[in-house]
Chain A
Amino acid sequence: MLGLRSLATGVPVSMLANPARAQSTSLDDPQFLILNTSQAGDPLNCNAPGTYLDSKILHPGDAKMAKRSFMIGGQAWDAAAPWAALDPVFERCALIHHSTETEQHLHQPEVLGLMGSVLAKDMAVSAFAAQLAPALGTIQPQPVTLGTVDSSEAISFRGRPQPMLNPTSLSTVLGGTEGPLANLASLRDKDLDRLNRFFKERGTLEQRRMLDAYATSQGQVRKLSTDLLDQLAALKDNGADAQVAAAIVLIRMKVAPVVTVHIPFGGDNHFDDGLGKETTETVAGMATLAKLFDGLKSVQLSDKVTFASLNVFGRTLTRKDFGRSHNRNHHLTMLVGSRVKGGVIGGVVPKNDDYGALAIDSASGRGGDGGDVSPATSLASVGKTLGAALGLPRDVLDATVVNTSSGKTVGKVIQAALK
């Protein structure tokens, strides 16, 4: 049976028999991931390299957003001036023009689940996190979510929603007790184990599972590195800068393989007359990214951490409402990491009464007719490309990103975005 399914799907029998095969410590240079994600569908796609080739595309008139030229992947590209913040990382930054195939905010979880194309209907970053955790030696496999604007941005792991945290609460939540109570911690742990046993002896299987999970979380807390907690305590707000600072600390503490943040780039700007909010937040957001990459460099993590930005959708490249509206046909995913090759992948073309993403040639990265990655499969392909950038083998990705009805693998790794 597995053999037939393997023939049908192209996924190796070994993977079908054990999709969790990649959960080993043998991955080659596995990467941590910091994911920026927004259910607002920010206009990050609107002033990016690749959107200045068509003069009809709307850009803010503010001088701070003036067009500038940058070298990305050995080629000159125009973009809004704030993108200069990424100059130091452009050689390892892939900007992929594609589609998320939705224009509904409520599909944020579905987009992170590659529109239902992840094994067991998980979110892609959670499936990747589960596979990366053993190799990275993190305390927990679940992603950590920072800076969500509401529960629609919550990350689920194997279908289980994860807590929504913020930088200012982290040191209070994770910081240990002090004084005499700290001295008694090991004694309490021992006696809490006794209480757990008391309940387990009386419980049903499912109650015992819950108790086991509780005991596991207790053990995870004890593995936390306390010397980095002071850095978390220094964070005094929950803004984007604090989120990326916290993400770096959590990765240094090896808390989780994936940390998600929310860096605003203009938000849900239907009524952004004059695109003032888009300007302000793009300037601030790019500055935050620069701080992130500087921060990673300062602690020698640039080659260990990959950054990605994936929102629910992009925004219209022309004026709609009083600002920009939702765009199901165009979104920009940003990947920055040691396995990522600098370049602009794909492009935009007039579609309906706005613009949409072109098909992508996965080998060259060029956009246009005949590309082997169609807009309809581009989100799954971006997911696979992200997985590859994180160090996951292709057969694992083929088994993870699948049509959950047919079992066939969906999308393909966009090799042009990778070294």
Chain B
Amino acid sequence: MVSRRLLACATLLAACQGALGSTSSAPGEENDPPPGADGGRDGSVRLPDGRVAPPAPPELEDDGGVPSEFAPLSVRAYVSKVKSVLTALPPSEHELRKVEANPGALPDLIEAWQATPEYHDRMLSFFTMAFQQGDVTNEMLMNVNQFQQINTDPRIMQNMRESFGRTVLQLIAEGKPFSDVLSTRRYMLTPALAMFMAWLDERSSGDGGGVSDLLDQELGQNGKYTLQGDTKIPLEQSVDPASPNFLNFYSAQVAAMTGDCRKPLVIDRDNRLTLYTMTQGETLMRHFLGNPFNSTFFCNYAARETVLNRADFNSWKMVNLRQPRSGEKATWVYQIPKFRSGEELVFRRPYVGFYTTPSFLYNWQTNTSNQARVTINQTILVATGQKFDASHNAMPVSTAAIETSHAMPGTACYACHLAMDPMRQFFRSTYTLYWSVQSDSKQLPPVFVLGEQSTMGNGIASLGESMKQSDRFASAWVQKLCIWANGAVCDPSGSTDGAPSDPELLRIAALFADGYDWNAMVRTLMSSPLVTYSAPTATSMAQGHAYSIAKKDLLCRRWDHTLGLDDACGLGALPSTQSGDAVKTIATVLPADSYSRGQSTPVLANDPGMFFFAGVENACAALAARVVDVDGAPYQSRDVDGAIAKMVHELMGIPAPDDVEPIAILKEHFSSALADGAAPALRSTFMLACLSPSTVSVGQ
């Protein structure tokens, strides 16, 4: 054991020096080996022709535990792993040779990958998951907002889930520090999402429940609006209170109807209350979205677009959200031109950081008993990876908000409430239990208590500013990204419960904390032995190396990119165009990255169990019908050699010269299957490639 630790320390030092990231290229041509090198630092062996062979696998007894000797991952395997994690694409032969020649070249490659749309997609997926924005459902919205209709437009739901991830990407693109995720008041919104948020904003509920619609109050007893298909009224007039056409909208949807449904639709206080018991804002919003009412008792509007158009769900802009100044009115739900212009919007509810977005607040909704404890707990978990645990908390500067009826002094529960109760006041003093603006002046002011910090808070924004001071913010996000890459906690303890202790992770976190340059941190971590397994780390020596199946998002993106498909798994908002699509059905149950309530570690479903194999096999069969011998598809039986080479290089991610044997296996399979016809034979060959371990997992 002693010798193993000594080995770990020595190699760790070497690894850290390497991972600090010399970004200089090797001398000479790109494919030249570094002078004097006989073999790779990963244990690989240089061949006479200059290529590098992977290290021989260690001959170890497989007792199911951590191997007794460190065995580095080959350059080819770890470059493949890193590129796959970051882009869902395989590395090229050129890229592999570059790192084989000079392992220090990996950060440069990563930097190039970071400029691709595929990296953007993968980071969007990561941020959506890690900021816990992706799980909000229509039912959650209904619970808090007391909807009268069940189905919120799925495009709005998708916009809501993606909004903060896109916000983070935009902040990074603007060169802002990553810590702005805690304090930003600018968000990426679509016009449709902005309109939906305006509707949420005008719907006010106190702690006691009930709904007061502020637009109803604004319009008064005689307020009404019209949708008609007779006169094309410019939208600017329809939303201008000074215009005679105010709230008279031209609707292409109504214009497309016949019979009674072609008549102008006038919604006034009487019919919206007696027929639909909706508020003015809700009916208006639903008309704009094109799904005004349940079509079984009203006109069945076939067209999806009414006043909003398709682009209103797809055009993202960074929008500053602020609260009204004295005497100023908030942005109303009908002010569509404002939503489209991307100018500043005025909402009553304060929006700041990741923890006040609709997708976060409705996911972590609260009640009279919980009093926003779940919300503050999840906020702290997301930002710092810490749970409320009295063992490391300072005494709060004020204990007035502690509910002794919920937890008695001296109990373990009380120790947690000591910090949680004063902290929950960040939410309770700002929002009601229904996330409307809090008007209860008796709500106590918030107190920030985390680690050694305890300070009085001042509004919801001060929560973000205090979290920025946490010494766990940087390490928590390095850890989250590391877990995402490896499918395992990057800590010798194998747990995120305590303070991080892997020296390499702490080193990267320290670099990250100096300026919070996200993309630089990605480069450092992804080229670190924490992820590449090219050298021992404290984590790998204690926990071994983790290998995982490709989780849902990665596998689906891999299929998209390598098969030329647009949303193979139907992960988008609208139903797949493939009727009865087996891939979409299977994708719903593929293991995915996600966080459970109260957990600082995501669910790590890494194993290739029976259901995974069966599901992927059937998905591959369904994909075979879409990508083999179909017009425009990548694989055609008239060019079997080309198709098989493409399968091996792109789908399986095995470039030359390692491709010889896989190509031979696939060609032999095609030949053996040819008796059933060329197309079935090539489809079966595709299935084989699609089921290859390198296709369905990470790091093989």
Interface residues, chain A, with chain B CB atoms under 8 Å away: 104-106, 139-140, 142, 144, 150-152, 154, 160-166, 168-169, 172-177, 179-181, 183-184, 187-188, 191-192, 194-196, 198-199, 201-211, 213-214, 217-218, 220-221, 224, 255, 270-271, 320-322, 325-326
Pull 9 A–B residue pairs with CB atoms less than 8 Å apart, ordered by A.
A140-B609, A161-B604, A179-B680, A206-B67, A208-B62, A209-B62, A210-B700, A211-B700, A270-B369
Tell whether, in the assembled complex, residue A150 and residue B605 are in contact, meaning their CB atoms are under 8 Å apart. Answer: no
- 4 closest Cβ contacts across the A-B interface? A106-B598, A180-B680, A217-B613, A220-B610
Tell whether, in the assembled complex, residue B610 and residue A217 are in contact, meaning their CB atoms are under 8 Å apart. Answer: yes
B99: interface (CB < 8 Å): no
Tell whether, in the assembled complex, residue B699 and residue A207 are in contact, meaning their CB atoms are under 8 Å apart. Answer: yes
Q: Given the interface contacts A169-B585, A175-B618, A195-B662, does A163 sit within 8 Å of B547 by beta carbon? A: no
A-B contact count (CB 8 A): 200
A248 to B370, CA, bound (A): 38
Q: In whole Å, how far is B635's beta carbon from the nearest beta carbon of chain A?
A: 14
Tell whether, in the assembled complex, residue A177 and residue B621 are in contact, meaning their CB atoms are under 8 Å apart. Answer: yes
Residues of the B chain whose Cβ atoms lie less than 8 Å from the Cβ of A255 = 610
For chain B, residues 639 to 683, give those with C-beta under 8 angstroms from any C-beta of chain A.
661-662, 665-666, 668-669, 672-673, 676-677, 680-681, 683
Q: Which residue in chain A gives the minimum CB-CB distance to B363?
A: A150
Residues of the A chain whose Cβ atoms lie less than 8 Å from the Cβ of B673 = 184, 187
Q: B77-103, CB under 8 A of A: which get 1 and which 0? A: 100000000000000000000000000
Q: Which residue in chain B gives the minimum CB-CB distance to A320?
A: B369
Tell whether, in the assembled complex, residue B608 and residue A191 are in contact, meaning their CB atoms are under 8 Å apart. Answer: no
Tell whether, in the assembled complex, residue A187 and residue B57 are in contact, meaning their CB atoms are under 8 Å apart. Answer: no
Tell whether, in the assembled complex, residue B691 and residue A192 are in contact, meaning their CB atoms are under 8 Å apart. Answer: yes
Q: Given the interface contacts A173-B618, A325-B369, does A202 sit within 8 Å of B57 by beta carbon? A: yes
A395 to B190, CA, bound (A): 62
Q: Which of B73, B608, B681 contacts A217 (CB 8 A)?
A: B608
Q: Which of B64, B607, B611, B618 contacts A177 (CB 8 A)?
A: B618
Interface residues, chain B, with chain A CB atoms under 8 Å away: 54, 57-58, 60, 62, 64, 67, 71-74, 77, 135, 367-369, 544-547, 582, 585-586, 588-591, 594-599, 603-615, 617-618, 621, 624, 661-662, 665-666, 668-669, 672-673, 676-677, 680-681, 683-684, 687-688, 691-694, 696-697, 699-700
A192 to B669, CA, bound (A): 10
Residues of the A chain whose Cβ atoms lie less than 8 Å from the Cβ of B610 = 139-140, 217, 220-221, 255
Q: Which residue in chain B gives the minimum CB-CB distance to A183?
A: B676
Tell whether, in the assembled complex, residue A187 and residue B67 are in contact, meaning their CB atoms are under 8 Å apart. Answer: no
Residues of the A chain whose Cβ atoms lie less than 8 Å from the Cβ of B367 = 270-271, 321
Tell whether, in the assembled complex, residue B614 and residue A221 are in contact, meaning their CB atoms are under 8 Å apart. Answer: yes
A345 to B700, CA, bound (A): 53
Q: In whole Å, how far is A40's beta carbon from the nearest beta carbon of chain B?
A: 11
Q: Which of A177, A179, A184, A206 contacts B547 (CB 8 A)?
A: A206
Residues of the B chain whose Cβ atoms lie less than 8 Å from the Cβ of A139 = 610
Tell whether, in the assembled complex, residue B684 and residue A187 are in contact, meaning their CB atoms are under 8 Å apart. Answer: yes
Tell whether, in the assembled complex, residue B680 and residue A151 are in contact, meaning their CB atoms are under 8 Å apart. Answer: no
Tell whether, in the assembled complex, residue A161 and residue B603 are in contact, meaning their CB atoms are under 8 Å apart. Answer: yes
Tell whether, in the assembled complex, residue A204 and residue B73 are in contact, meaning their CB atoms are under 8 Å apart. Answer: yes
Q: Given the interface contacts A173-B589, A187-B669, A321-B368, does A214 sit within 8 Å of B613 by beta carbon? A: yes
Q: Which of B77, B135, B617 contacts A150 (CB 8 A)?
A: B135
Tell whether, in the assembled complex, residue B71 and residue A202 are in contact, meaning their CB atoms are under 8 Å apart. Answer: no
Tell whether, in the assembled complex, residue B73 and residue A177 are in contact, meaning their CB atoms are under 8 Å apart. Answer: no
Tell whether, in the assembled complex, residue A163 and residue B611 are in contact, meaning their CB atoms are under 8 Å apart. Answer: yes
Residues of the B chain whose Cβ atoms lie less than 8 Å from the Cβ of A164 = 589
Residues of the A chain whose Cβ atoms lie less than 8 Å from the Cβ of B599 = 106, 152
A214 to B610, CA, bound (A): 8
A183 to B677, CA, bound (A): 12
A367 to B64, CA, bound (A): 45
Tell whether, in the assembled complex, residue A104 and residue B603 are in contact, meaning their CB atoms are under 8 Å apart. Answer: no
Tell whether, in the assembled complex, residue A195 and residue B688 are in contact, meaning their CB atoms are under 8 Å apart. Answer: yes
Q: In whole Å, how far is A202's beta carbon from the nearest beta carbon of chain B?
A: 5
A55 to B578, CA, bound (A): 58
Residues of the A chain whose Cβ atoms lie less than 8 Å from the Cβ of B369 = 270, 320-321, 325-326
Q: Which residue in chain A gives the minimum CB-CB distance to B416?
A: A104
Tell whether, in the assembled complex, residue B677 and residue A180 are in contact, meaning their CB atoms are under 8 Å apart. Answer: yes
A interface: dominant SS: helix
A49 to B677, CA, bound (A): 66
A214 to B673, CA, bound (A): 24
Q: Which residue in chain B gives the minimum CB-CB distance to A212?
A: B62
Q: In whole Å, how far is A224's beta carbon from the nearest beta carbon of chain B?
A: 8
Tell whether, in the assembled complex, residue A169 and residue B586 are in contact, meaning their CB atoms are under 8 Å apart. Answer: yes
Tell whether, in the assembled complex, residue A211 and residue B589 are in contact, meaning their CB atoms are under 8 Å apart. Answer: no
Tell whether, in the assembled complex, residue A206 and residue B618 are in contact, meaning their CB atoms are under 8 Å apart. Answer: no
Q: Which residue in chain A gives the minimum CB-CB distance to B68?
A: A205
Q: Which of A106, A151, A163 contacts B609 (CB 8 A)?
A: A163
A157 to B677, CA, bound (A): 44
Residues of the A chain whose Cβ atoms lie less than 8 Å from the Cβ of B612 = 163, 217
Q: Given the interface contacts A140-B609, A161-B604, A205-B60, does A106 sit within 8 Å of B596 by beta carbon? A: yes
Tell whether, in the assembled complex, residue B613 and residue A218 are in contact, meaning their CB atoms are under 8 Å apart. Answer: yes
Residues of the A chain whose Cβ atoms lie less than 8 Å from the Cβ of B605 = 154, 160-163
Residues of the B chain whose Cβ atoms lie less than 8 Å from the Cβ of A154 = 596, 603, 605
A202 to B680, CA, bound (A): 31
Q: A191-B666, A205-B60, A221-B614 are in contact. List 9 more A-B contacts (CB 8 A).
A: A139-B610, A163-B590, A172-B615, A177-B617, A177-B687, A195-B665, A198-B662, A220-B610, A255-B610
Q: Which of A152, A218, A322 contacts B368 (CB 8 A)?
A: A322
Q: Given the interface contacts A151-B603, A180-B680, A210-B547, does A163 sit within 8 Å of B591 by beta carbon? A: yes
Residues of the A chain whose Cβ atoms lie less than 8 Å from the Cβ of B71 = 204-206
Q: Given the interface contacts A151-B594, A181-B621, A199-B693, does A172 sit within 8 Å of B687 by beta carbon? A: no
Tell whether, in the assembled complex, residue B545 and residue A208 are in contact, meaning their CB atoms are under 8 Å apart. Answer: no
Q: In whole Å, how far is B55's beta carbon from the nearest beta carbon of chain A?
A: 8
Tell whether, in the assembled complex, residue A173 and residue B586 are in contact, meaning their CB atoms are under 8 Å apart. Answer: yes
Q: Which residue in chain B gives the minimum CB-CB distance to A168?
A: B585
A18 to B683, CA, bound (A): 48
Q: In whole Å, how far is B699's beta carbon from the nearest beta carbon of chain A?
A: 7
Q: Which of B611, B666, B676 contacts A174 (CB 8 A)?
A: B611
Tell whether, in the assembled complex, residue A162 and residue B545 are in contact, meaning their CB atoms are under 8 Å apart. Answer: no
Residues of the B chain whose Cβ atoms lie less than 8 Å from the Cβ of A150 = 135, 594, 596-597
Q: Which residue in chain B gives the minimum CB-CB distance to A203?
A: B57
A23 to B665, CA, bound (A): 39
Tell whether, in the assembled complex, residue B676 and residue A184 are in contact, meaning their CB atoms are under 8 Å apart. Answer: yes
Q: Which of B73, B607, B661 contacts A213 (CB 8 A)?
A: B607
Residues of the B chain whose Cβ atoms lie less than 8 Å from the Cβ of A179 = 680
A28 to B122, CA, bound (A): 51
Interface core residue of A161, A211, A271, A325 (most chain B CB under 10 Å): A161
Tell whether, in the assembled complex, residue A181 and residue B615 are in contact, meaning their CB atoms are under 8 Å apart. Answer: no
Tell whether, in the assembled complex, residue B73 and residue A220 are in contact, meaning their CB atoms are under 8 Å apart. Answer: no
Q: Which residue in chain A gives the minimum CB-CB distance to B610?
A: A220
Residues of the A chain whose Cβ atoms lie less than 8 Å from the Cβ of B586 = 169, 172-173
Q: In whole Å, how far is B84's beta carbon from the nearest beta carbon of chain A?
A: 14
Tell whether, in the assembled complex, residue A181 and residue B624 are in contact, meaning their CB atoms are under 8 Å apart. Answer: yes
Residues of the A chain whose Cβ atoms lie less than 8 Å from the Cβ of B598 = 104-106
Tell whether, in the assembled complex, residue B617 and residue A270 are in contact, meaning their CB atoms are under 8 Å apart. Answer: no
Q: Which residue in chain B gives the minimum CB-CB distance to A352?
A: B408
Q: Which of B58, B546, B617, B693 contacts A196 (CB 8 A)?
A: B693
Q: In whole Å, how far is A189's beta carbon from the nearest beta carbon of chain B?
A: 10
Q: In whole Å, how far is A334's beta carbon from the nearest beta carbon of chain B?
A: 25
Q: In whole Å, how far is B411's beta carbon from the nearest beta carbon of chain A?
A: 12
Tell whether, in the assembled complex, residue A184 and residue B67 are in contact, meaning their CB atoms are under 8 Å apart. Answer: no
Residues of the B chain whose Cβ atoms lie less than 8 Å from the Cβ of A204 = 57-58, 67, 71-73, 545
A54 to B614, CA, bound (A): 52
Q: Which residue in chain B gives the minimum CB-CB distance to A154?
A: B603
A142 to B613, CA, bound (A): 14
A40 to B117, CA, bound (A): 40
Residues of the B chain whose Cβ atoms lie less than 8 Å from the Cβ of A213 = 607-608
A366 to B116, CA, bound (A): 68
Q: Which residue in chain B gives the minimum CB-CB distance to A268?
A: B367
Q: In whole Å, how far is A20's beta carbon from the nearest beta carbon of chain B?
A: 12
Residues of the B chain whose Cβ atoms lie less than 8 Å from the Cβ of A201 = 57
A209 to B544, CA, bound (A): 12
Q: Given the interface contacts A162-B609, A210-B700, A221-B613, does A105 sit within 8 Å of B661 by beta carbon? A: no
